[in-house]
Chains A and B, each alone.
Chain A
């Protein structure tokens, strides 16, 4: 029987052809993607990762809403020049609570994986209002409405519930206190700040936009930007031990 005749069964029966195509394509996923979830070498051990605080999570939702990932990556590749510019290459563990992750695939603007604490809150506020004011050659659009828009805090607890369902370790206590923690983090010297910091270590509380009044969207987005890449202390990270 020739090769051609063996192949006839696919060419003459569309359903068998579809099944054949599915099997061939799924091999790509099974061989290239699936092993990344269980191979020891792709899962590093790091210390310091915690779920986002409600305010940071709200900021992250704004980041996704405004499509920031279209121009900014959050993925420092393991290349010499990237490590020289942005710092230690990104680890898979650093995105463990990112659902969906914000690695991006395009860099019209700089990588943001470690932008946290690099600039002042005031810089972020002015830069979001009008990027050209801070960086004359910038092509980033301005987002002046963020600082003028009161943050809708009603959905944050629901967001956390969904993430908890997906495996992010949000405790019932965290979800219950979501709105209280959110307001505490966006305030100066709030009475609830200690309880918030206890639930979310290394979180910082202040009025991020510097504006008086209720929590606005710029507060949330700046809180998120200011914590990016700040959780893992790379002085304590053993890169050699994770070369497996």
Chain B
């Protein structure tokens, strides 16, 4: 500021003006509030400290790492290591124990259920529902009807390797497309669909011929679904005599299954989730209500 400015005091307010004038109008030069100014100086000092302590200035092929040597990647690696260490006593115990031992030990079981619930919410709930209630083509995990077995070991295997997944140890089977491949004619598909409905006491169409339907079932379906349609856990072949239907119990839906085949896919979680999480999930799913 030149001294000239300070001499130019506005008569009404007693404040100095900037000293220049446009068309007879002058501008007040009100000083900045002191508190504001000190905060500004404070941030400048802080920024200098920040540059010294943290990574800041880019150089030719690297950057100034700062006195602290901090990096976001090292920080998250450390955070995760801390977490692992914090959980280690229980996780190690879980890793060592067999699924049966976990079931008998209340403390381990409680931990497995808590870990399982969290993992289920993110990884399993999108398909099987938040409570494990399932949806069309995604099995209900609350009932005691199991495609590949409801013992905790069976559940563990299904979660780890999936069903018709890309994993080499996957559970796998195929319901053939009897109609598409021409093994059964449309009329035969119609008959056998009615027969499947009759197995669980559902009403059948008038056109249903019991002897013909039973014969088609015997020749084509019983190898996997069993002579009485009770299913087979070895092939993931569903029980056709109960009231639980993965793809719906309507004749149209059953006929579509016979015509096109069925085969829904469950991903393998081994690799994506760690071994103890998969164990915890098996314990959790087993405890949902239908575990055998």
Q: In the complex the two chains form, is A87's CB within 8 Å of B272's CB?
A: yes
Smallest Cβ-Cβ distance to A117: which chain B residue: B267
Contacts of A240 in B (CB 8 A): 77
Is B137 among interface residues, defined by CB-CB distance under 8 A? Answer: yes
Smallest Cβ-Cβ distance to A138: which chain B residue: B126
Of the candidate stretches A78-86, A151-159, A171-179, A189-197, the one touching chain B is A78-86
Which chain B residues numbered 117 to 143 have a C-beta less than 8 Å away from chain A?
122-123, 125-127, 129-130, 135-138
CA distance A40 to B127 in the complex (A): 42
**Min distance, Cβ A30 to any Cβ of chain B, angstroms:** 9
Q: In the complex the two chains form, is B73's CB within 8 Å of A85's CB?
A: no
CA distance A79 to B73 in the complex (A): 9
Contacts of B74 in A (CB 8 A): 243
Contact of A122 among B18, B71, B122, B265 (CB under 8 A): B265
CA distance A80 to B78 in the complex (A): 9
Contact of B83 among A39, A80, A120, A127 (CB under 8 A): A80
Smallest Cβ-Cβ distance to B123: which chain A residue: A118
Smallest Cβ-Cβ distance to B61: which chain A residue: A40
Contact of A80 among B62, B79, B125 (CB under 8 A): B79
CA distance A79 to B79 in the complex (A): 8
Per-residue 0/1 for B72-110: is the Cβ within 8 Å of any A Cβ (1 yes, 0 no)? Answer: 111111011001000000000000000000000000000
Is A26 among interface residues, defined by CB-CB distance under 8 A? Answer: no
Contacts of A244 in B (CB 8 A): 62
Instruction: Given A118-B267, A239-B73, check contact A80 B80 (CB 8 Å).
Output: yes
Contacts of A34 in B (CB 8 A): 58
Of residues B62, B73, B75, B136, which shows the largest number of chain A Cβ atoms within 10 Å of its Cβ?
Answer: B73
Contact of A119 among B61, B62, B126 (CB under 8 A): B126
CA distance A243 to B77 in the complex (A): 10
Measured CB to CB, the residues of B under 8 A from A are 1-2, 18, 58, 61-63, 71-77, 79-80, 83, 122-123, 125-127, 129-130, 135-138, 166, 264-267, 272
**A–B Cβ pairs within 8 angstroms, 16 of them:** A2-B2, A4-B1, A31-B58, A35-B58, A40-B61, A78-B72, A79-B76, A83-B76, A84-B80, A84-B83, A120-B264, A120-B267, A122-B264, A126-B136, A204-B166, A244-B62
